[in-house]
Amino acid sequence: MNKQIPLNSFFIIFCLAIVLVVFCIWENNYVVITNYTYVNSKIPEEFNNYKILHISDLHNKNYHGRLLNKIRKINPDVIVITGDLIDRRRTKIDVAVELAEQVVRIAPTYYVSGNHEQLSGEYSVLKKRLKQANIHIIDNSYALLNKGEIGIGLLGIADPTIQQSERDYLFQDNSKYMKRAIEEVSKGVNTSFNILLSHRPEQFQSYKDMRVDLVFSGHAHGGQVRLPFLGGLYAPNQGMLPKYTEGIYKKGATSMVVSRGLGNSSFPLRVFNQPELVVVTLEKESNSQ
């Protein structure tokens, strides 16, 4: 004798399925704005309340104008992008360039590569088009952010996959590359306060060892799936239960801001981990405090 599932049970299952679908769409498409205030006595007075917008890990995702509307409302002084504008598995350069052409009209925009650009085989094409859009590419170079005659240093490191194969990038120790690259770039910088753009948060110890003041990073995608009390479950180059997935971390005199990013890569879903734009406002700490 076949047992039939009651009609009300079908209805409950159907409703739960609808709720799950809506939840997944919301979690993966509603961009939140996360605001931080970074305080340091080394920040020049001219840069007090200076607003930095951090974009990372778009992975070709197209928000069809919704992202730009949020960025315009933020009205940043500068925009920094820490890699993976494209996805090496399904590269769509036009989507990345379209965003770049729009954001640069809002504020000066500085960019460093991520592992997906370096491994895509199309980074030279992307770089050419980003430069045409007036994006400042600072892979293993630096720029000065000026207000009047006062400036702060903005250093950029190309993702270590510039020297690696796709097979090796998850497993090699990149600390020597990071320290050497930062040392080389820093030779031309003589500002008292310096910011570093680097895709990789797992290299935080290297940034501390090189005495960087403030780092912007991405790559971890917030741990992809976030659980209460545990945080993110997995991040590339960090593995299970990664240490650096979102927020501000501090070691000694070095602070690192990690963005959860805006898109997905090999794993297509975020759970309790909405995509984000990060806004960091610089605040000069009074020496009397």
Nearest CA to 171 out of 115, 233, 111, 112 is that of 115
Phi and psi angles of residue 207, each rounded to the nearest 5 degrees, phi first: -65, -40
Per-residue tokens: 209: 């060892």
> Is residue 29 situated within a structural domain?
yes
CATH number at residue 86: 3.60.21.10
| Coil/strand/helix, residue 249 | strand
> Is residue 54 situated within a structural domain?
yes
* Predicted structure pTM score: 0.93
Residue-level pLDDT at 19: 84
> Is residue 181 situated within a structural domain?
yes
Residue-level pLDDT at 117: 95
CB count, 10 Å around CB of 163? 13
pLDDT-derived band at 27, boundaries 50, 70, 90: confident
Domain count, the chain: 1
Residue-level pLDDT at 5: 62
Residue-level pLDDT at 172: 81
> Is residue 289 situated within a structural domain?
no
> Is residue 2 situated within a structural domain?
no
> Is residue 227 situated within a structural domain?
yes
pLDDT tens profile 233-262: 999 999 999 999 999 999 999 999 999 999
What's the Cα-to-Cα distance from 105 to each of 47, 102, 247, rounded to whole Å? 21, 6, 27
pLDDT-derived band at 177, boundaries 50, 70, 90: very high
pLDDT beyond 70 at 1:
no
pLDDT beyond 80 at 142:
yes
> Is residue 1 situated within a structural domain?
no
> Is residue 102 situated within a structural domain?
yes
Alpha carbon distance 67, 230 (integer Å):
29
Structural domain including 250 reads 7-284
What's the Cα-to-Cα distance from 113 to each of 22, 56, 99, 233, 277, rounded to whole Å? 33, 10, 16, 25, 18
pLDDT averaged over the chain? Answer: 92
- Per-residue burial over 250-277, b if 16 or more Cβ lie within 10 Å, else e, is eeeebbbbbbbbbbbbeeeebbebbbbb
pLDDT tens profile 179-212: 999 999 999 888 999 999 999 999 999 999 999 9
Q: pLDDT > 70: what percent of the chain?
A: 96
Q: Which residue has the higher pLDDT, 183 or 19?
A: 183
Is the torsion defined by CA of 279, 208, 151, 79 positive or negative? negative
